[in-house]
Every structure is written in C-alpha cells, then in structure tokens.
Structure 1
C-alpha cells in the first residue's frame, strides 16, 4: 500500500492502517530509543508514547506532511529529549552517558558496535554526532531520512557524519596508542 493511501486510512482512524503503522515501526522505534537511552523499560514506554502522540496529532489534524518514517522518528527524538530534560532537572543524568548501557539479552547490535573502543568512543561525540551515527549505521537510514528526522539539510548530515567518523577514528587510534 502506498504511503499516501496509508495516510488517508490513518487519518480516518482505520484500525487496519493504524495497526500496519504500529507493526511496521514499533520495533524500529524501540531500537532507536533503546540505543539513545540504554533503558529497556523506558524505551518501551517512549515507543508507546510515539504512537499516542501520532494519534493525538492525527485527531487534531496535525498528521504527517513528510514521510511517515521521518515523522515518527522525529516524535521519538523529541520524546527522548523531553525525557532527558526532565531527568536532568531531577537526577542530573547526561544524555550521552545513559545510552551506553549494555544491551539487553537477545538484542543484537554487536555487528554495529563490535569494538568496545568504538562503543566507548561514542561518548566523546556531540549529541548530534551520536544521533547521526545511530540513525545511519544502527537504524540503516539514508541521509534524506536522517536530515528530515533531525531537521537539517542533507549536506549538514553529511558534514556531521564526516566529523563524527573522523572523531571516532581519532579516539580509537589514540586509545590504541596508549
């Protein structure tokens, strides 16, 4: 089914369309949120909140105008930022520290973060650089999709990716020399 047809059915609150959206994106959004937070329970809650926000937006005629995937990831991104803003006011937890928690049993991203040095090196990247690396290499999204999610141009995403990969290379090389 085309995205336009799916959008029309979702706007009509067709349970089949809403179920299809959930089935297609729930796991992907959970993975993205988990990589950003490192907390399985929080990731489940926030992934569910993405769909609540989606329904609220559709009901108030603020549905997606761009790609569905980009819109859902943008909602997830905003929920993560909101969560850490609230948490930092209460606990003083930093965003880049939380997502580095070890993976839960059965969750396989060793192929992406095979090197412990590389994984630890991620904490030295800026939040935006971490997000680009996760969206591009863990979630497998293209530059256009990442740009849409982050609200940047494709050129800015390419530059962020270039800087992030150079920084990671320098960090890993420095750790090897030590």
Structure 2
C-alpha cells in the first residue's frame, strides 16, 4: 500500500506535505523546503550534545550536506524523515567526536601538560565535588551497552518515540523497547546505589 506523505499544520492551520527527502539530492526547491521544515529539529538535536555555538552551527550544516549526499538512501518507514535525519545527525556527531579525539591526542603529545597553580586546583576541586552525583550517573550511563545508551539518549534526551528511535538506529521497535528497559533499569540501580552509599564506586565494566 502506498504511504501518504507526512503532514503537519502550517501557521494558518492548513496541512502541508512533508517534502520527500529523496528529492533533496537533485531538486534545490525540494531541499530548501525540507531544510526549512527540519532545521530546528536538527539544531536542537545537535545542541543537546555540543556546547560550542559555532561548532553546533557547523555540525547542523554538515547534517544537511549529508542529506543531499545520501538522499537516495531514504526508504521511508514508520520513523519518517525525522528519524532518518537523527540517524544521519548521530553519524555526523560521532565522526566529529572521533576527529576531535585524535586532534586532542596529537595536541597533547606536542604541547605537553600545563602546570596548575593552587587557585586552579582549588577551583577544579570545587567543581568536581559539586558535580559528583551527576557524574556518577553519567559514568554508569557511559558504561551501558552502546545500543542501550543510544536508545535511551534518543528517547529520554531527544524526545523521540520508541518507533522513531528504532528507525533512527535501524533496529526493530521491539528491540528498542528491550534496550530502553535495560538501560532504565541499570540507571535506576545506579541512582539507588548512589543514594544509599555515595562512597560506593560504580563499576564501569
């Protein structure tokens, strides 16, 4: 059965069709319409992961460059264009993170370490102490299986439905539900451990 194009209400209350992503690689008008429809969603996705405004703008632009380059790969499905876009955005951000990590390693080898004075150390200790609770939960989240962490981020942080998150990750919705359940159970256990005994270390392996 042929799927009807996704629609949403415009400001005047009329329904408008979502531009077909498959046209973005060859039709500049279609790409412009698609960009205007989804740029805010993509930007929000990026800024939840990147704090630098210039970098966020660059990565958002990179996502839409990737849209043009991979338009032919769009196959529709239950997740729709937003889930497809979020899948692209995850890949763009992950690629940037890998490049940035390699660059930091290189710079560290060249520059060495800067010595900290007493004020620097005191300031860092205060910030480290203040962030201990959140850091412990984050460490436990980082220790989750990569697939479970990805589902949890897309649903709890980015607001996708289970179906949309599954589409973004290329997995079945039932698999996404199982991973989400496991991730939530692991984090709940971590929070309870922290509340019961703040000195108890959280295992990362």
Shift of 1:117: 4.5
Residue 23, structure 1, aligned to residue 36, structure 2: yes
TM-score for the superposition, normalised by structure 2 = 0.62
Residue 13, structure 1, aligned to residue 27, structure 2: yes
Give a deviation string over 1:123-156, Cα, whole Å, max 9, x none: 3223433322221123221222111111222122
Residue 122, structure 1, aligned to residue 138, structure 2: yes
Residue 57 of structure 2 corresponds to: 44
Distance 2:139 2:40 in 1: 25
> Where does structure 2 lack aligned partners over 5 or more consecutive residues?
7-16, 106-131, 198-205
Shift of 1:36: 2.9
Give a deviation string over 1:96-141, Cα, whole Å, max 9, x none: xxxxxxxxxxxxxxxxxxxx94675133223433322221123221
Cα distance change of structure 1 residues 146 and 11 upon mapping to structure 2, 3 Å threshold: same
Cα distance change of structure 1 residues 166 and 145 upon mapping to structure 2, 3 Å threshold: same
Say which structure is richer in helix: 1
Shift of 1:76: 0.6
CA RMSD of aligned residues (A): 2.7
Q: 2:46 aligns with which of 33, 44, 55?
A: 33
Residue 102 of structure 1 corresponds to: none
Give a deviation string over 1:9-43, Cα, whole Å, max 9, x none: 6465142x323322222121122222234443322
Higher mean C-alpha deviation, range 20-29 or range 4-13: 4-13
Higher mean C-alpha deviation, range 158-167 or range 63-72: 63-72
Higher mean C-alpha deviation, range 27-36 or range 69-78: 27-36
Q: For residues 102-117 of structure 1, what are the structure 2 equivalents within 5 Å?
A: 117=133
Cα distance change of structure 1 residues 128 and 36 upon mapping to structure 2, 3 Å threshold: farther
TM-score for the superposition, normalised by structure 1 = 0.70
Residue 9 of structure 2 corresponds to: none
User: Is 1:143–1:154's contact at 8 Å kept on the other side of the alignment?
Assistant: yes
Distance 1:144 1:89 in 2: 34
Residue 177, structure 1, aligned to residue 180, structure 2: no
Distance 1:53 1:46 in 2: 10
Shift of 1:51: 0.8
Cα distance change of structure 1 residues 30 and 123 upon mapping to structure 2, 3 Å threshold: farther
State the structure with bigger RCO (CA 8 A, min sep 6), 1 or 2. Answer: 1
Residue 111 of structure 1 corresponds to: none
Give a deviation string over 1:55-108, Cα, whole Å, max 9, x none: 2234xxx2411222222111111111111222222225xxxxxxxxxxxxxxxx
